[in-house]
Amino acid sequence: MNDDDILEAIIVREGGEAITDDASDFGGRTRYGISERAHPEAWRNGPPSKEQAKKIYTRTYLLPFAPLVNIGIDERVREALIDDAVLSGPKTAIRSLQNVLGVPADGVIGPRTLEAALKANIEGHWLLTRLVQDRALRLARLVQQRPNQLRYLVGWLSRCLSFLG
């Protein structure tokens, strides 16, 4: 799956061009998954275009995971991490990867993370399963802490689990 395929899939999962404005959504108004709260510059002249959304996704969510491409990481792992970053932030997704790999969780993909990811990639497909498990548990804990987010849990978990098959 190339970067454009990943971006298109995220935009579909994020609701496409429809503008959402759910009072319980932390991001506020959203189009193509680009929230007004997180990206006010994109909303300055009205809702963002699809091209603007793709540029934001590339800069904010794809680039932090670019080092994984160079080691030949399973594309499903990379896509799942990028999708996690869209919902939870890149540092959170990277820390999840680092926790699963058993390396210091600093939120930056550096040499130790790459070495451990390459080893995990060679050994088998357990990495994707563990990342999905970690994400699902993190989402459940989030809802425990913020019960008003319960209405999103099934959708979040379905999205998370979709990377397994």
Per residue in 36-89, pLDDT (tens digit) is 988 999 999 999 999 999 999 999 999 999 999 989 899 999 999 999 999 999
Query: Quick check: helix, strand or coil at residue 165?
Result: coil
Q: Compute the Cα dihedral for 153, 28, 11, 109 and give only its sign.
A: negative
| DSSP single-letter state for residue 29 | S
Give, in order, the Cα–Cα distances in Å from 133 to each of 27, 79, 96, 140: 25, 15, 10, 11
* Pairwise CA distance, residues 43 & 32, whole Å: 12
Q: What is the pTM of this model?
A: 0.92
pLDDT digits (tens, 9 = 90+) for 4-48: 999 999 999 999 988 888 777 777 889 999 999 889 999 999 999
For residue 65, give the nearest of 81, 46, 48, 84 by alpha carbon: 81
Long-range contacts of 42-48 (CB under 8 A, 24+ apart): 47/19
pLDDT digits (tens, 9 = 90+) for 121-154: 887 679 999 999 999 999 999 999 999 999 999 9
Length of the chain: 165
User: What crossing angle do the helices spanning 50-57 and 3-13 adopt, rounded to 10°?
Assistant: 110
- Check residue 108 and give left, alpha or beta (phi > 0: left; psi -120 to 50: alpha): beta
List for the chain the helix, strand, coil content (%; round to 5): 70, 5, 30
Query: Quick check: 93 and 81 in contact, CB under 8 A?
Result: yes
Query: Quick check: 134 and 100 in contact, CB under 8 A?
Result: yes
Q: Which domains does the chain have, with CATH numbers?
A: 3-164 (1.20.141.10)
Pairing of strands 30-31, 34-35: antiparallel
Q: What is the pLDDT of residue 125?
A: 76
